[in-house]
Amino acid sequence: MTFDMNDVAPQQSGDLIPDGTFAKVTMSIRKGGVDGANEHDRGLLKASNQPGSDVLMVDAEFTVAEGPFARRKFWQNFTVQGGKRDEQGQSVGWKISKSTFRAMIDSALGLSPEDMSEAAKAKRVLRGLADLDGITFVAKIRIEPSRNPAYKDANRLEHVVLPTAPEWQKVMAGEAVLAQPSHRSRPAAPAPVSPAPAWGQSQPAGSASDTAWSAPATQPATQPAADPAAPTTAGGPAWLNP
């Protein structure tokens, strides 16, 4: 048996995506084997590896969907349970994650964050966090300096770009958008070290779940994407039942 390597894409550079890059990305959830709050999220979450921690997370993989950095990947965890709590005893990390997930839905579907019509609200209802697997939205990507000299810097999601932002319209229309670096200072390292292997940012794109997450590029940012209100079926959220 032979292995023909001629039909695969050439190896990509291991350089990071430039700080402040705007791009359309697809999020895939890597199951961590811990059950979530309902049947739909069975085995979805990942437990923290810190001793004594009660944090459960969504382990997300982001793949740039198109443009000059298409197929490039980065990874990020989102707290779902546990960790630091506020005065009401609620997980601070979960509140932040929940806000980010809502922004992903608005960006993916072209919804104004101020649209609280019944149709728009129905589109923000999830059967479980697993419904977010395969969602495609506009993101601003940053470079996070490593705090440990043994590891290299990494790309992270800086924030979700909403339809009310001019960059959202440009990215959705396939136009080039200048990067807007975050200008974060890099922590001092005690001594230079050899870089970690470069393969971490250059894996070939994995197959994302085939879902209906999408937003029309021609939609005005100030207009809600929702059509006249339609009932949500028992099979899932409104965007899965067009």
Residue 124 or residue 228, greater confidence: 124
Report CA-CA distances (Å) from 202 to 15, 28, 61.
8, 16, 13
What would the pLDDT profile of 59-100 be if each residue is shown by its tens digit? Answer: 999 999 999 999 999 999 999 999 999 988 899 999 999 999
Where are the domains positioned within the chain? 14-176
d(CA 162, CA 37): 28
Sign of the C-alpha dihedral, residues 90, 30, 130, 223?
A: positive
pLDDT the model gives residue 237: 53
Give the pTM.
0.74
How many CA within 13 A on the CB side of residue 9? 10
Q: How many CB atoms lie within 10 A of CB 183?
A: 7
d(CA 231, CA 227): 11
Nearest to 127 by CA among 9, 45, 234: 234
Average pLDDT over residues 163-192: 81
